[in-house]
A and B are shown apart, each in its own frame.
Chain A
Amino acid sequence: MVKRTRAAHRLISEGAEAKLYGARLFGIDAVLKHRARKEYRIAELDERLRLQRTRSEARMLYAASSAGANVPAVLFLGNDKIVMERIDGRMMSAITAGGWSMRTMRGSLRRLGAQLAILHNAGIAHGDFTPANILLGGSGKVYVIDFGLAETTGSAEDKAIDIILMKRSIPARAYAEFVRAYRAEYAQSGSVLARVSEIERRGRYQARTLLSA
C-alpha cells in the first residue's frame, strides 16, 4: 500500500507544458498528466490555455483511438489533468539517441508511417509529431502520445507540418521508410506530400540546418 502510494507520486517526466506522474486508477497502471500554472503569463490566458489544451488533448486522444490509432486510453479528465493508460514502451528518441540502426528500426518506421496515415485519414493533425512523442512497445507496437497540440483539420498544411517535423528529426533513410508506409496507407497522401515540398520551397524550413541527420 505504502509502496503503491509512492509510485503514484513518482514524477515520470517534466516537459515544457506538463508534468507526468505515475498513477493507478481502477487497478490499471496509469499516468497523470498535469498542466501546471506558468508564472510568466497572465492568469486569464494561462487558465484558458491549460484548460483548453487539457480538454482538447482528451478529445483528440479519444478521436484517435476511435479511428484505430495506437494511443493511450483516457481514464479520467479533470480541469487541468488527464489520467491515461500507461504505455509500456520506450521513447523513440531515447532508443535512437545512441545512433540509428536501420536494421532494428525499419519495422517501427513502417508502423509509424501507418499510424500517421490513420490519424490524417481521420482528419487529425498531431501538431508535435517528433520522436519524443512516439513510444515503441516491447512487442514492436508503435504508440503515438502527447495530443496537446493536435487538431481536427481538413488542411493539407497542418498535416504537412507533421511530416516535416518528423523529417527534420530523423535521418533521410529513416524518413524514406516512414514516408513510404504513410504514402501506401493514406489515400490523400499525395496532396500532403506535395504541400511538404511546397513549404520547403517557401524557404523557412528548407533553409534550416538539420541537427540530427
Chain B
Amino acid sequence: MAVLGIESSAHTLGVGVVEGGRVLSNEKSMYHMGPGGIIPAKAADLHADNVGPLVSAALKRAHISVRDISAIGYTKGPGLGPCLRVGQLAAETIAAHSGIPIIPVNHAVAHIEVTRSMFGARDPLVLYVSGGNSQILAITDSPFRHYHVYGETLDIGVGNMLDNFARAADLDPAWGSSVERLARGGRYIQMPYTVKGMDFTFTGLMTNASRLLGGRPSRDVAYSLQETCFSMLCEATERALFLTRKSEILLSGGVAQNSRLRAMLESIAQSHGIRAHAAPNSLNADNGAMIAVVAEKYQEKGFRFPSKARGIDQRYRIDTVEIGW
C-alpha cells in the first residue's frame, strides 16, 4: 500500500505518494519571497490554502484514493513553526478520517535518505546543503544508529546565503538557481574564505559579496561567491573523507541542484577513486515524496509514533534521529 508525505517546512509545500520506495507522484506549490525574504505567517497561510487541493492532486496523479494510503508522513522539523504546523495539521486531519498511522519525519533525514535509497548507497559520506543548514555527515552505530555530524555551518546555511545574495542583487526569482545562471562566465574576485577544520561560516562571505555588488559587475561577484562557498564546502568534505575513509559521497538538499557544486564533488570523488551521487533536482528541492519515502521505511520497520511524539520541532537536530533501517 502507498504512503503519503507532506512537506511544509519553509517556502515549498509538497505532497508526494510513494509505494515500495517508488515515487508515484510529487506535487508542489511555492510561496514566492518578496524583498524581505520569507514571512512565515504568510507562507503558512498560503500552504493552508493549498494543502487540500495538493493532496487531491497527488492522489490523482498517483491513480489512487485516500483509502489506498496506509500511512501518512509529515515534516516535524527543522523549519519555520507556522509552516510546519500546516503540514502536521493536514496529516492529523487526513489520518483522523481514515484511521491510518501518522509518522513525523526529520526534514534533513528525508533529503538524505531519498538519495541514499535511490542509489543504494550503504554507508556514504554525506554533504547536506539546504537553505537553513549545511552539514557533513555519516551514519554511525553508537550510541544508536544515526547520522553523526562531522562538520557544519557555524552560522547560516549555504542556501540562505545564496538566496540573500540573490535578493541583494535584485535577481528574479530570488533563488540560488538565479545566482548560478548569473555566475556563468564571471571572473574571480578575492573573498573571505573561512573553514575551521570541518566546520565553516558564511556570514562574512555574504556581507562581503553584497557590499561588492555596487562597485563590481554582479556576474563576477556571483561567480566568486559560488566558487568561494563551494570550495569551502568541498575542502571540509574532503577533510571528512580522509578522516572517515568512506567509499561513496552523497550530495543532497536544495543546493545540490547546483551543477557547479555537483561537478566539484564529482572531481573530489574522482581523485579518490570513489563515486559521488546526487538525486535529480525534483528530489533535491523540498518535496513531499522524500517525506513519504522515510515514512514508509519507519512503517515497514514497525515504528509507531503516539501523539506526544509528534508535534513540531523547529530545531529538530538530525543527529537525534534513529535511523532504524
Contacts and interface: CB of A to CB of B under 8 A. Distances in A.
Interface of A: 14-17, 38-42, 44-45, 48-49, 127-128, 130, 149, 161, 165, 203-204, 207-209, 211
Contacts of B195: 149
A191 B107 CA distance: 37
Contacts of A204: 152, 154
A40 B140 contact: no
Given A16-B241, A209-B140, A211-B140, A41 B231 contact: yes
A187 B315 CA distance: 37
Given A16-B238, A16-B239, A149-B197, A207 B227 contact: no
Main secondary structure of the interface of A (DSSP, over half): loop
A41 B196 contact: no
B70 to A, nearest CB: 32
Interface stretch (B3-11, B24-32, B167-175, B264-272): B264-272
Contact of A44 (B148, B154, B188, B315): B188
A204 B319 CA distance: 11
Interface of B: 140, 142-143, 146, 148-149, 152, 154, 188, 190, 193, 195-197, 227-228, 231, 234-235, 238-239, 241-242, 264-265, 267-268, 271, 315, 317, 319-320
A149 B143 CA distance: 31
Contacts of A203: 315
The 7 closest A-B pairs by CB, nearest first: A16-B239, A40-B267, A40-B264, A41-B231, A44-B188, A16-B238, A16-B242
Contact of A49 (B152, B193, B264, B268): B193
Contacts of B268: 40
Contact of B197 (A15, A38, A128): A128
